[in-house]
Structure 1
Amino acid sequence: MIGGRREGGLMRKASQSVVKSRILIAVAIIGCLFAFLYPHGFLSFYSPAFHSQVLSSKCESSHRLNELKAEYAAELEKNEELRQQVKELTEKVRLAEQKKDHAQKQIEALGKWRKAGPSGTVKGLRTNPTVIPDESVNPRLAVILEAVAVGRELIVALANWKVKESLEIWFTNIKRVGITNYLVVALDDKITEFCKSNNVPVFTRDANDGIASIGRTGNNHAVSGLKFHILREFLLLGYSVLLSDIDIVYLQNPFDYLYRDSDVESMTDGHDNMTAYGFDDVFDEPAMGWARYAHTMRIWVFNSGFFYIRPTIPSIELLDRVAGRLAKEPKSWDQAVFNEELFFPSHLGYEGLHAARRTMDFYLFMNSKVLFKTVRKDDRLSKLKPVIVHVNYHPNKLQRMKAVMEFYVDGNRDALKPFPDGSEWEW
């Protein structure tokens, strides 16, 4: 019995020991779980340190967000740069394709084997092919030109508010003659409104355009140089342009007197057959003895204030050359650069421009030197009616323009008499 009670006591003790062990194991496991989940203590969840961590995390998120915004802005800027580069490359590829097309056409024209034919019947290639129009160059201008141009050609003039009075005479005579295909490129808002109020076709460049800003603030010399930049867009759109200064009086429609067989067809600063169309000028150097006489070829310059230019590769190259030189040589005269690029031949270190040129009839497309020095004093010549008169040799342009109108339009034969032959400036 005693043995049985002892065994029963031992069994109970063993059972209690197992239960205690299981409880201790459970507590240990729970403790490990809390230690893993809350390494800084269970109450630290509610501590200031925890809130500090949360705030710190929020600050880091805000800072990261700002970083992401900055990175996004930088990527946008890179994308814009890439877009501009793609646009420039596209333009270069397009021009290269145009040159390729031009070269192919020349090869087709020149590559055929032909007999020369009898003496006096042989003629070389005269007219360069026009470029393929590209409306993406300036879609807004393309819409205007589609409405204004006749036969894909038009008169174009640049103007700012400084020449408002001369501009009014300019377009008044154009309207009187019956010309409809003309356009004023306005270089400031005042001229835009002035043209619109007078039903004059006008195109205004974007306000943020660097060219437009020069036109608003620049002098006549700066404005004159702009035309080579602006004309390029017209040619790329496939239009022939009769570029006109504002100090010109229109007496007939010039499109009725153009030949259109050259890249550039220009009025001259010459005043007679020799100076206008070229002559052999002999240079005398006595010290050379037997070889004292050197023959030179001379021609007075084309006037860059009135010329007809066709949309061809040589024409566009001419505009690019002149614009490029004027940008590098700001003190250069645009008319001098215009003529140098047109006439200088290829030589060592320089490739001349391969462009066809024509000089306009100097009595039909008359400069003011021809008018005031010769024509007005000749009874026969004074009865001829020119196409235009360009007051390019004289400073008092407005007064002389009005006198030209009185003489040719109103029939006042004395209108030109008060003016001297030359300039009234004191040198």
Structure 2
Amino acid sequence: MAGRRDGSLMREKGQSFRGSRIAVAIAVGVLLGCVLALLYPNGLFSSNPPRQLQKLSRSGLQTASSSCESQERVNALKSDIASLSEKNMELKKQVRELTEKLRLAEQGQDNAQKQFLVLGEQHKAGPFGTVKGLRTNPTVIPDESVSPRLGKLLEEVAIGKELIVALANSNVKDMLEVWFTSIKKVGIPNYLVVALDDEIAEFCKANEVPMYKRDPDQGIDTIGKTGGNHAVSGLKFRILREFLQLGYSVLLSDVDIVYLQNPFDHLHRDSDVESMTDGHNNMTAYGYNDVFDEPAMGWARYAHTMRIWVYNSGFFYIRPTIPSIELLDRVAGRLSREPNSWDQAVFNEELFFPSHPGYEGLHAARRTMDYYLFMNSKVLFKEVRKDAKLSKLKPVIVHINYHPDKLPRMKAVVEFYVNGKKDALQPFPDGSQW
């Protein structure tokens, strides 16, 4: 009995000792957990380091990354500026396009888009007197590869894809100054001088005149720098081709012209070529039936002929169409093969001669400008200045094409129409003094 009691006592003591050890272990564990909870509130294995460690890491990295961050900010700002510049150019382009569309809508004259839509379609003829054919050829698709540098310049200068263009070398420097001064006075922004030598290029820059100097071209450069009026005039047909290929309409202008109004407000834009005339009245300017008399033919002695005075190749508006480019190619080609030919004569022959055996004529639409608005110097000095009513009219331009004393007559035109000097035109004779 005693042995059993002792054994049970021993087991009880062992169990109580084991229980006390477990209790101590639990207490130690709870205490350790509390300590750890105080030291590591975010957890022992948290992805976020303690604040002190974060502060230390931040202060250590700030110095190392400051230069990188400043460079990144500079690069970001450059990228933003480039992006804004592109957006600005795009907005300008959209404004020009909208301006052109608005102009076409207001004018109601340019039928190029209508013709494009109906190409290839067949139509029935309407009632008598209602049929009217389309007048305007569609414009070409612009080819920017022709001259990227010129194309970029034209985007800045042209308005509604059109502009005034003049060719000039140092031989016509004084007339060029009167020319661009009158343009500035009227307030025409879309004009450009093709400088044929360095002196004119610098002269334009000094006077804030939009200028374009072509890449070196042997042959063209020689003529452009040293050639006279007729030689330089012949160059324009080759140089204008680039403008048309880029999709721009050009109002080609000689420099012996005074501008008194904006010519773009008075164009019809319904033809490939719209030109001023050398005619001096309705018959000579717009055409007439001239009867040729040959008495030896008896009953058939009278032969009817159609006459019109030539277009002036020193002032014409040309649209970027296939017939227009073909005209420039034909004239430039003939002038290169026939060096003694006059460019104005060739220009008119290619425009007007019809197709006939051995020759295929140019299929281009043309319009004659109002000769009182786009006035030549014969009309001015022989008629207008002597007529009280006509002298009160204000032309768009005056072209001193009939007289060799161009500069003094240009200045007199400015005095008469701009400065109001009534007798400014009186000292000059009707014609020229040989």
Same fold? TM cut 0.5:
yes
Alignment of 1:12-411 (within 5 A): 109=118, 111-411=120-420
For residues 353-403 of structure 1, what are the alpha-carbon distances to aligned partners after superposition, in whole Å with 9 as ceiling and x for unaligned? 000000000000000000000000000000000000000000100000000
Kept in 2, the 8 Å contact 1:183–1:202? The answer is yes
Cα RMSD for the two superposed structures: 1.6
Report how far residue 113 of structure 1 moved. Answer: 2.9
Does the CA contact (< 8 Å) of 1:183 and 1:201 recur in 2?
yes
How far off is 1:109 after superposition?
A: 2.7
* Separation (CA, whole Å) in 1 of partners of 2:142 and 2:215: 22
Count of residues in Structure 1 that have an aligned counterpart in Structure 2: 323
Structure 1 unaligned residues grouped into runs of 5+: 1-104
Please say if residues 275 and 299 of structure 1, whose CA atoms lie closer than 8 Å, have aligned partners that are also in contact: yes
**Equivalent pairs: percent with the same residue?**
81
- Structure 2 spans left out of the alignment, 5+ residues: 1-113
How far did residue 110 of structure 1 move? 5.1
Letter in 2 for 1:129: P
How big is each residue's C-alpha offset from its partner over 1:173-231, in whole Å with a ceiling of 9 and x where there is no partner?
00000000000000000000000000000001123443122200212111010000000
Corresponding position of 2:40: none
8 Å contact kept, 1:206–1:212: no
Distance 1:385 1:108 in 2: 39
In 2, Cα distance between equivalents of 1:322 and 1:417: 38
**Given residue 124 of structure 1, which amino acid in structure 2 is its aligned partner?**
G
Q: How far, CA to CA, are the matches of 2:305 and 2:246 in structure 1?
A: 40
Is contact 1:126–1:261 with CA below 8 Å preserved after alignment? yes
The residue identity in structure 2 corresponding to 1:274 is M
Q: Is the 8 A contact 2:258 2:413 kept in 1?
A: yes
Instruction: Tell me which residue corresponds to 1:3.
Output: none
Q: Residue type of the partner of 2:199?
A: K
208 and 274 in structure 1: CA distance in 2 versus 1, 3 angstrom threshold: closer
Native 8 Å contact 2:171 2:228 kept in 1: no
Report the Cα distance in structure 2 between the residues aligned to 1:160 and 1:293, rounded to whole angstroms.
Answer: 50
| TM norm structure 2 | 0.73
Name 2:23's counterpart in structure 1. none
Whole-Å separation in 1 of the counterparts to 2:222 and 2:198: 11
Q: Distance in 2 between matches of 1:141 and 1:419?
A: 41
Distance 2:172 2:116 in 1: 47
| Alignment partners' CA distance in 2, 1:107 and 1:127 | 10
Tell me the secondary structure at the aligned position of residue 164 of structure 1: helix
Which whole-Å CA distance do the structure 2 matches of 1:208 and 1:224 have between them? 17
